[in-house]
Amino acid sequence: MKRVIHTEKAPAALGPYSQGIEVNGVLYVSGQIPFVPETMELISEDVQDQTKQSLENVKAILSAAGYSLNNVVKATVFIKNMEDFALINEIYNEYLGDVKPARACVEVARLPKDVKVEIEVVAVK
């Protein structure tokens, strides 16, 4: 049985998807962009601010489902410019440095709302 996860502490879905879905002790968190949940506005143009906000949004969804960053086993980071890789990693490591989940980082041509970073995770209890 699947459980839909929704929290007001993360941005509302911009399309026909759930913030998260839990199935058999596995939580799939949809890609989170750097929107401030209360305003649905971009945090800033700075890639590190965007990375932090995306991770805060991921963290809020994890928490709403009873998980934490320590439960993350896989992350996918989509970035607009691979030149930002080191800057993104600085912030990513602050949040997930001790956990070190498996990860893919992919440069893409375009992200929703033209943000610079989007992050999705899979977590297991």
If you average pLDDT over residues 32-41, what whole number do you get?
A: 97
Q: Within 30-84, where are the H helices? A: 47-64
What 8-state DSSP symbol labels residue 13?
P
Q: Is the pLDDT of residue 14 over 90?
A: no
Copy the structure tokens of residue 31: 């890609």
The band of 33, judged by pLDDT with boundaries at 50, 70 and 90, is very high
Global pTM value: 0.97
Q: How far apart are CA 36 and CA 40, in angstroms?
A: 5
Q: How far apart are CA 23 and CA 1, in angstroms?
A: 6
Q: Which residues contact 72 (CB under 8 A, 6 or more apart)?
A: 62, 96, 99, 101, 121, 122, 123
CATH number of 2-124, picked from 3.30.1330.40, 3.10.20.90, 2.60.40.10, 3.60.20.10: 3.30.1330.40
Question: So where are the chain's domains?
Answer: 2-124
